[in-house]
Chains A and B, each alone.
Chain A
């Protein structure tokens, strides 16, 4: 039996974890080989029927809307981002993300002076690995295979619940200041100080829970970057999170928090956040592009009562006015995703579902609105 391994869309490592086999003249997708992909692939259901004429319904909503908001959430291929920007421009909409933590941390890591690199270029096994937050294994099942399972023994773990104190301890210890921190911190600081180079992995999902910790983490990283050859890498919580940021920046200059007025873009990431916009601005339509069920509960609650159009591969579990079913890149559509280290990976379409590509649906919306 012939097997073919193809890149998987379900986490930001995009390993070749989907297996096809050749069966009587055609390739059949049989199974993913990692637990996360297995679970997500099982949930994927291209058969669920969508509503009839969803594009016309969505166009009606957008034509009536004075002030729409377009929200990008979860994972989507890079090709969609440009179309989302075009829709925002055509409707003078707000354009926001549900989360920019990974992007903010990634950008801050780089600007702190830490080097970054692709996974095969990570420092040799003798060097030090620091993990900020939870073990990435849950969201990136093959993480340790890329980093090297042998490095697991050398890891300094900085757990989420006491991240602020731990980092503060590491900083003070590194500066040789007397502190009353635990022996673990002292040991970790000593190992980091001895290492000629190392890598810090920052689990975005964990750090985002503590704003103070982020500032402390960045100061610490800056100190590391000033001293030695240290690398930093954010671990995003959803697939292609950094790719969406990159796509947004390429199209607009910014990665989040903007509003379109005629040909101009106004950027204010502090004010133009999903919750604040819903709370303080007169919105009359919400377009969600991506996995809507990925949204946190508190945002879903705030959305209640808003006229909503959703373009996503899965049928949302909550009430919506229009749902446009879309294919998923890497399963029933082609599309480009950015691996967490910045390498663009072109995902292939493996099966046919007949669903319209998101960018084509968005183009139809724009065409309808202009008419």
Chain B
């Protein structure tokens, strides 16, 4: 056993907010204090802050898209290293930030071997990926039929073939429409596949996933990403969910109003008012940080608009039977009014939204900037003077076209740990993570208390993963392989033959090679249970 003595403990789930206490670890788990302690190791926690380890809910860290990015960045070592490092470096950096569980934001079923090649190399962390389905021909076919069992079985089968943890919808239906030269459809416009509209796709998939009891609800990337005035469309999408459980990602990119000239303004206040009412929804922010970034997305139509606006070259690779993978270099410049408004919009959303267990910290790496900027963002949230300093260093539009100056709030440590650990773990259905209750995994981060918050969050004194110290004084020990987090929802396997037959008509090779294949064996896997079974 191990005991961490006299640390200032934060455990949002159990209402522990900076209390000085001991935390006991037995093997991989948090344990109750033994009645007659003996033969244990003691770690001195005096002057330290102890919290559950970080849980990353949305970061593009693996697969084909990262490879595209590296093609853009191969002549620029610093940006390559920051935005698209190798998988082992990504794992190491997350561990150094105190994160032990990380999720890749999107993986195409067709290219999932490439994604898992990268995930398998992320030693020392538990990791997973979300399966892109919103433009998948098999699922569109099932959705058009309206047959709930068929939808369920298609989702389950695609998760199996891709080794996915959750269902990702990216501006669903728009990829299919784009390929067929149909202008970006609205929520109720036909996407060109029978009478399917985006509203129908979202509602039917969300209903199916919730019915299947997947640990994480549908992870939704909404339409009109990054466009001025898109808050109206975003709010429309939120209402379309009709109170069902879902996660909406990088919402900073959807909280824009527009001024008289069609330019950007922050609509954070209106968006927060709308989303606060829906208690079954969770969000991550996608905060931007000044500097070079890379857009990486399956949202071909939005990126096509953006590349026409920026005149930057893009890489767009369209995939048979599904959507595409697209990348485009971006730069957020402090002197640029749009960048300043985007930065302020993210901050404003974070500061106005009251519940840190439903709004999570991300930069949508590398779309908004690198995940290694988290300590910087936390510092802006916790320290108003640091935030004001940043506002003054940006184009004045950041202040004048947002409501940020009215936000006096400073995040507390409790809130920071809730938004980086407890909240995302809960949304992901990882009941053993994000808290320090007896039986939870002993995934911990410990910081030496200091006034420089950015420095503190950049350098945990130590990080523990499942009962073993894996980072100490900035040095990483990666002697464990880490595990791939998976779901295997229940389905009617009698439908397998018809799914195979249908898939074979949509691809140019034998379905036996599709994705990971049906018999893929993960070297280190952790299956997270789903709550419902097919009767």
Contacts and interface: CB of A to CB of B under 8 A. Distances in A.
Contacts of B321: 120
Interface stretch (A57-65, A291-299, A313-321, A338-346): A338-346
Given A111-B72, A246-B114, A119 B77 contact: no
Interface string A321-343: 00000000000000010010011
B319 A117 contact: yes
B478 interface: no
Contacts of A113: 313-314
B66 interface: yes
B485 to A, nearest CB: 21
Contacts of B114: 246, 344
B81 A111 contact: no
A114 to B, nearest CB: 9
Interface in A167-196: none
Nearest to B85: A253
B121 interface: yes
B81 A346 contact: no
Contacts of B86: 250-253
A254 B71 CA distance: 8
B404 to A, nearest CB: 36
A7 B316 contact: no
Interface string B302-320: 0000000000011111111
A208 to B, nearest CB: 19
B273 interface: no
A82 interface: yes
A249 B70 contact: yes
A273 to B, nearest CB: 16
A255 interface: yes
A112 interface: yes
A111 B117 contact: no
Given A250-B86, A267-B77, A345-B513, A111 B508 contact: no
Given A110-B68, A345-B509, A346-B113, A250 B87 contact: yes
Contacts of B319: 117-118, 121
Interface in B503-529: 506-510, 513, 516-517
Contacts, number: 103
A267 B73 CA distance: 12
B38 to A, nearest CB: 40
Contacts of B70: 249-250, 253-254
Interface string B420-442: 00000000000000000000000
B111 interface: yes
A344 B67 contact: no
B179 interface: yes
B87 A5 contact: no
Contact of B315 (A111, A336, A346): A111
Contacts of A115: 316-318
Interface residues of A, number: 38
A253 B69 CA distance: 10
Interface string A71-111: 00000001000100000000000000000000000010011
Q: Which applies to chain A's interface (DSSP): helix, strand, loop or mixed?
A: mixed
B110 interface: yes
Contact of B111 (A14, A255, A344, A346): A344
Given A118-B319, A249-B67, A267 B314 contact: no
A346 B513 contact: yes
Counting chain B CB atoms within 10 Å of each CB, the highest count among A7, A78, A253 belongs to A253
Nearest to B520: A346
Nearest to B316: A115
A336 B117 contact: yes
Given A107-B71, A120-B321, A246-B67, A253 B117 contact: no
Counting chain B CB atoms within 10 Å of each CB, the highest count among A16, A249, A252, A336 belongs to A249
A276 B504 CA distance: 48
Q: How large is the interface on B (under 10, 10 to 19, 20 to 34, 35 or more residues)?
A: 35 or more
Nearest to A103: B71
Nearest to B68: A110
Nearest to B320: A120
B64 interface: yes
Interface in B46-76: 64, 66-68, 70-74
A119 B320 contact: yes
Contacts of A112: 313
A116 B317 contact: yes
A144 interface: no
B272 interface: no
A224 B311 CA distance: 15
B148 interface: no
B111 A343 contact: yes
A16 B87 CA distance: 32
Contact of B110 (A14, A247, A336, A343): A343
Counting chain A CB atoms within 10 Å of each CB, the highest count among B81, B84, B320, B513 belongs to B513
B318 A16 contact: no
Interface in B85-123: 85-87, 110-111, 113-114, 117-118, 121
Interface string A15-32: 110000000000000000
Contacts of A5: 510
A103 to B, nearest CB: 9
Given A110-B71, A249-B67, A121 B510 contact: no
A253 B81 contact: yes
Contact of A120 (B81, B84, B111, B508): B508
Nearest to B64: A342
B163 to A, nearest CB: 13
B263 to A, nearest CB: 26
23 contacts: A7-B509, A7-B510, A16-B509, A78-B117, A82-B121, A110-B71, A115-B317, A115-B318, A116-B317, A117-B317, A120-B321, A247-B117, A249-B74, A250-B87, A250-B117, A251-B86, A253-B73, A254-B70, A254-B74, A336-B113, A342-B64, A343-B509, A346-B113
- Top 7 nearest A-B pairs by Cβ distance? A120-B320, A344-B113, A117-B318, A120-B508, A118-B320, A110-B315, A249-B70
Interface of B: 64, 66-68, 70-74, 77, 80-81, 84-87, 110-111, 113-114, 117-118, 121, 179, 181, 313-321, 324, 506-510, 513, 516-517
